Amino acid sequence: MSGWRGSRSSLAGPGSPLSDRVSTSRTVRLGGVQPQAPGHRTIFCNDREANFLTKFEGNSVSTTKYDILTFLPKGLFEQFHRVANFYFLVISVISCTPVSPVSPVTNVVPLCLVLLVSLIKEAWEDWKRFQNDMAINNSSIDVLQDQKWEAVPWKKLQVGDIVRVKQDGFFPADLLFLASTNPDGVCYVETANLDGETNLKIRKALEKTWDFVTPEKVSDFKGEVQCEQPNNSLYTFTGNLIIQNQTLPLSPNLMLLRGCSLKNTEYIVGTAIFTGHETKVMMNAMKIPSKRSTLEKKLDKLILTLVSVLFCMCLLGAIGSGIFVNRKYYYLQFAESDAQFNPSNRFLVTALNMFTLITLYSPIIPISLYVSIEMIKFIQSTQFINNDLCMYHVETNTPASARTSNLNEELGQVEYIFSDKTGTLTRNMMEFFKCSIGGEAYGTGVSEIEMGTAQRNGIKFEVHKSSNTVRDKGFNFDDARLLRGAWRNEPNPETCQEFFRCLAICHTVLPEGDESPEKIQYQAASPDEAALVTAAKNFGFFFYRYVLLNSVFGAGGVPYSKEPQEDPFFLFACSPPLPATFLLDFQSGANNQDAMSQRRTPMMICVRESHVEKMGKVQDVSYEILNVLEFNSTRKRQSVVCRYPDGRLVLYCKGADTVIYERLADGQKDLKRTTREHLEHFGAAGLRTLCLAYRDLSSDMYDNWNERFIQAKSSLRDREKKLDEVAELIEKDLILIGCTAIEDKLQEGVPSCIETLSRAGIKIWVLTGDKMETAINIAYACKLINNDMKQFIISSETDAIREVEDRGDQVEIARIIKDAVKNELKKCYEDAQHYICSAARPKLALVIDGKCLMYALDPILRVTLLNLSLNCSAVVCCRVSPLQKAQVSFLGIARCICLISFSLIGSDKNR
């Protein structure tokens, strides 16, 4: 082996290919081994020899609880955690001593049978896990070997290998997306196995790697990836790809995580970054816990009670034998233990008789109790649950599968339900319904929530659709003032035009199919975005194509031989012609690929605009997309920097009203007030709202900002934080355009289901990012809240808080909101105690928004919030972030613990 390692070092000698590959890294190289920096790892793509030196984790995974060596000791350790088994183990040991009046067989054999049955059940369930692991590890995947695709098992995949994943296939490891058969280097991913979402996610490869589709092309790929160490964060990734002396930043959208599946794409090509137990899904997986049901824990308490009674009986009997022992009762003694009948040593007689009596009275605790329960649960899971036709899913031919029988008796004992809104209570099928542009509200439709609210108040009306109503998937808008170009006759046509262009440009939607309004299909990461782009199309701003500058530039940045103006594709894609500054860049700077990639994203967005100047006129306009500031749960907004054909630089931004209003320029008081009223009206109708704004940029300001943006995008440390900080520099002084309102209808049967759950005594907490008015009305429509309930509403949308927010002093804002939340929580809790003590005892409901919740979750106020929620039948948290959802869920767990504690100590008064 040492000689083999020596030959490996010789491969990495000076002038060798491996030496050249390793030397490109920025880490220090010692001999033939490249040490890994503590903050990141270096991966050589398509080079197993270089990666071998680092000893990366293999791709074989195991989710079993035991293995051959640990099964017996670990299994016995688990079994003796049960009080009864430990008790019978002690009895069996005592029965093997001379003080036992019975044969050891009477205790040892039943205990062995109990342990044998329990261990067989554990082994059977773990064997099923092992078979599942083997099926996954032996699944085949195409790996590039010797310029051709070879099918190898997943477990033999290594870090740095180039793989090909076909349509509907699962990703065998965490892959860096290189290329796909779809145009523009995109693919569609289903992440249901990770987060439960069935919406397809769009992933887009780096332009530099789009050509690596065929084995011949991808064999020439010799890139180096410097990225973060393995971690359990599913939605973050920081790294750089070094290829052809270029450093290209890598984002989470370039990662294809293990467990996800490929959809709507013939195949993709990627390189393995994290494998096996270092993949993000495996790092999020917990070890198989030892699950114990409530019934089993109660049995342990019952056994402890019986043991205590048995100990008292044996103690009394042993003390009595020590007091009344006498030689004349010689016929009662054991021949082997004369010490038990020695009146001169009564203490020894008491001690020995104690063990004898424990052995004699041991049958008071039935050893068959656990065996009976184990067999019942095993048969129930394998024969009843797995064969239950009511739990059979016909569409996917999927029966119920009980992976463990330890928690069967917990079924049906649910007391609390924590539910999201979108996709759970609603259908997650968004439709553009209403909007507000320049302070004017548009849209005459009546939402499902409005109809439910009217019916609740005893109002009946019929909804009439006008003849101008346009029906399109994702578009359910009805207002003749905007449709078919009528917006040109409105008092604010320029604002309407900006509104529609923002919808058509500020997004990450990809078009598919024929480039006609009737046949085109939009693929989006969320149905909201698809609905907004569909709305722009129906208003006459038809987004139909992305044009990539790589279509104009040749490989490596070398332009085609003919002039750009002579290229028919170039003329068609960029009509009207691009500005002179861009043509100069094309003619003089195209060979400098680094400069081009740093200046902008090589992408044009083509929009067919109708009814702009006069009715019936259609013109194709190409906007150059320079930067995309993506949406995330922290930013709650998305921005796009684009260049118009005339050279105008514009930042379009859309997001939640709270974050947009904080970044608006001064002097829009009336527009802000009117739009806020429209937002509240839309929210009361149960609609999802977004605010739209824009900002004109100067060339100097943009160039200075873009340099900082590129630096942040290439950073290996705290990239997301730095990008957010850079975005703050440009996402300010915005001009408000208006807002959109999207309807997401309720799932069928949701109101009756929630009503049934409420009657069963189950408490329901709904956590949503919607506005408070939207959340309350949806809670009414779902019958989570009704008019008979007493509602406690804690909101940051008060006149006092708005007045402080307008002044912009962040310290004062935080102080005022915290004091308001503290006072409201105290007042609501006192009122709740009063209602509980009253004769009527109405049901209580708590509604709180995200800003107030941020302060209510402070350790000082958290106890008050918990005490208040203890008395509520329903809790609605609105405008909450994913982090706050996790914190509220933790608060709910604390609530359950408190209830259990109260029930144990019998403190009904404190409840």
The b-or-e profile of 794-823 (16+ CB within 10 A means b, else e) is bbbbeeebeebbeeeeeeebeebbbebbbe
The reply, when asked if residue 885 is annotated as ligand binding, is yes
The reply, when asked if residue 421 is annotated as ligand binding, is yes
The reply, when asked if residue 297 is annotated as ligand binding, is no
- The angle, 0 to 180 degrees and rounded to 10, between the axes of the packed helices 810-837 and 859-870 is 30
Catalytic residue (choose from 420, 567, 620, 724): 420
Burial class (CB in 10 A: 0-12, 13-18, 19+), 716: middle
Task: Name the pairing type of β-strands 255-256 and 416-420.
Answer: unpaired
| End-to-end CA gap in the chain | 70
The reply, when asked if residue 841 is annotated as ligand binding, is no
CA–CA separation, 366 and 710 (whole Å):
73
The reply, when asked if residue 488 is annotated as ligand binding, is no
Nearest to 626, CA basis, from 581, 577, 562: 581
DSSP string, 362-403: GGGS-THHHHHHHHHHHHIIIIIITT-GGG-BTTTTB----S
| Dihedral pair phi/psi, residue 488, rounded to 5° | -65, -20
C-beta pairs of 896-903 under 8 Å, 24+ apart in sequence: 896/415, 896/416, 898/866, 898/870, 899/870
Backbone CA torsion sign across 80, 84, 87, 92: negative
H or E segment to which residue 605 belongs: strand 603-610
The reply, when asked if residue 637 is annotated as ligand binding, is no
The reply, when asked if residue 770 is annotated as ligand binding, is yes
Specify whether the CB–CB gap between 158 and 143 falls below 8 A.
no
Cis peptide before 842 (omega within 30 of 0): no
Residues, the chain, total?
Answer: 911
CA–CA separation, 410 and 905 (whole Å):
23
SS3 per-residue string spanning 677-737? HHHHHHHHCCCEEEEEEEEEECHHHHHHHHHHHHHHHCCCCCHHHHHHHHHHHHCCCEEEE
Question: C-alpha angle with apex 447: 445 to 449, nearest 5 degrees?
Answer: 160
The reply, when asked if residue 769 is annotated as ligand binding, is yes
CA–CA separation, 68 and 64 (whole Å):
11
Burial class (CB in 10 A: 0-12, 13-18, 19+), 361: middle
The amino acid sitting at 896 is C
Q: Is 420 a catalytic residue?
A: yes
| CA 865 centroid distance within chain | 26
* Alpha-carbon distance values, 184 to 205, 271, 546, 893 (Å): 8, 19, 8, 46
The reply, when asked if residue 688 is annotated as ligand binding, is yes
| DSSP for residue 418 | E
Specify whether the CB–CB gap between 228 and 241 falls below 8 A.
no
Residues taking part in catalysis: 420
Binding residues for Mg(2+) are 420, 422
Binding residues are 420-422, 529, 631, 654, 688, 768-770, 879, 885
Binding residues for ATP are 420-422, 529, 631, 654, 688, 768-770, 879, 885
